[in-house]
Amino acid sequence: MKVTVDEEKCCGAGQCVLIAPEVFDQRDEDGIVVLLDAEPPADRHPAVQESADVCPAAAIRLSTRG
């Protein structure tokens, strides 16, 4: 799984930080998403998928490598 985030679309809601804190963080100055791990291990995929689903700005994109 490859994760990309769109900083322009991000509204800083922080839902991804609550769901998958190993993968997502927020900038202190404006709350915009910081991607910590663009290729997270398999055990974190469900949380990352959930983060993408719940993101109110649809700012998280997931793709499968291959």
Partner 1 sequence: MTTAPVRDSDPAEVPRFPDPRSAVCPFDPSPALRDLTRLGPVSRVRSWGESTPWVVTRHAEQKALLSDPRLSARFTHPNYPSPVDPRHAGGVRPDMSFVAMDDPDHARLRRMVSGVFTVRRIEAMRPVVQRIVDDFLDRMLAGPRPADLVTSFALPIPSLVISELLGVPYDDHEFFQVNSKTIVSTVATAEQRGQAHGRLSEYLDDLVGRKTAEPGDDLLSQLAARVTTDELTRSQAAAMGVLLLLGGHETTANMITLGTLLLLEHPEQLAAVRDSDDPAVVAGAVEELLRYLSIVHLGRRRTALEDIEIAGRTIRAGDGVILLGELANRDPDVFTSPDTFDITRDARHHQAFGAGTHHCVGQPLARMELQVVYPTLFRRIPTLRAATGTEKIPFKYDAVIYGVHELPVTW
Please give the residue ranges that form the binding site for partner 1 (CB under 8 A).
8-9, 11-15, 17-18, 26-32, 53-54, 56-58
Phi-psi region of 3 (alpha: psi -120 to 50; beta: other; left: phi over 0): beta
Pick from 21, 27, 19: nearest CA to 53: 19
Closest approach of Cβ 39 to partner 1, in Å? Answer: 23
The nearer residue to partner 1, 3 or 15, going by C-beta atoms, is 15
3-state secondary structure of 10: coil
Task: Compare residues 56 and 66 and give the one whose CB is closer to partner 1.
Answer: 56
**Least distance to partner 1, CB of residue 66, Å:** 28
